[in-house]
Amino acid sequence: MAQQTSSQVASTFLGEQRAYDSWMESLALPIHRGYYVEDLRTLDLGYWAERECKTAFLQLAGQEGVTESRVSEIPPGTTLPPVRFAMDEVVYVVEGRGLTSVWRGGAKDPQTFEWQKHSLFLLPRNTTFQLSNASGQERVLLLQYNYLPLAMALNPDPRFFFDNPYETDGAAAGDGDFYEPAKAVQTMGPRGARNVWYGNFFPDMRAWDKLDPFKGRGAGGHVVWIQFPDSPVYSHMSVFPARTYKKAHRHGPGVVIVIPSGEGFSVMWKEGEDKVFIPWHEASVFVPPDQWFHQHFNVGRAPGRYLALHAPRFLNRSEYVANMSRNQIEYPDEDPWIRETFASELAKRGLESIMPEQAYADRDFEWDYEEDK
For the chain, list residues with pLDDT below 50: 1-15, 317-322, 373
Are 168 and 127 in contact by the 8 Å Cβ rule? The answer is: yes
Residue 318 has a pLDDT of 46
Residue 1 has a pLDDT of 29
Whole-number Å distance between alpha carbons of 205 and 336:
34
Taking the CB of residue 301, how many other CB atoms lie within 10 A of it? Answer: 12
Residue 209 has a pLDDT of 82
Are 70 and 58 in contact by the 8 Å Cβ rule? The answer is: yes
Residue 279 has a pLDDT of 98
The DSSP result for 199-230, as a single string, is SSEES-TTT----EE-TTSSTT-EEEEEE-TT
Q: Taking Cα atoms as reference points, which of 123, 166, 161, 165 lies closest to residue 20? A: 161
pLDDT in tens, 136-184: 999 999 999 999 999 999 999 999 999 988 887 655 555 557 787 677 7
pLDDT in tens, 25-35: 999 999 999 99
Are 55 and 72 in contact by the 8 Å Cβ rule? The answer is: yes
Domain 183-353 has CATH 2.60.120.10: yes
How much is the pTM? 0.91
Q: Which CATH number fits domain 6-166: 1.10.569.10, 1.20.950.20, 2.40.30.10, 2.60.120.10?
A: 2.60.120.10
The DSSP element (H or E) to which 21 belongs, if any, is helix 19-26
Q: Taking Cα atoms as reference points, which of 228, 198, 194, 199 lies closest to residue 211? A: 194
Same CATH fold assignment for domains 6-166 and 183-353: yes
* Domain spans in the chain, listed from the N-terminal domain onward: 6-166, 183-353
The SS3 assignment for 235 reads strand
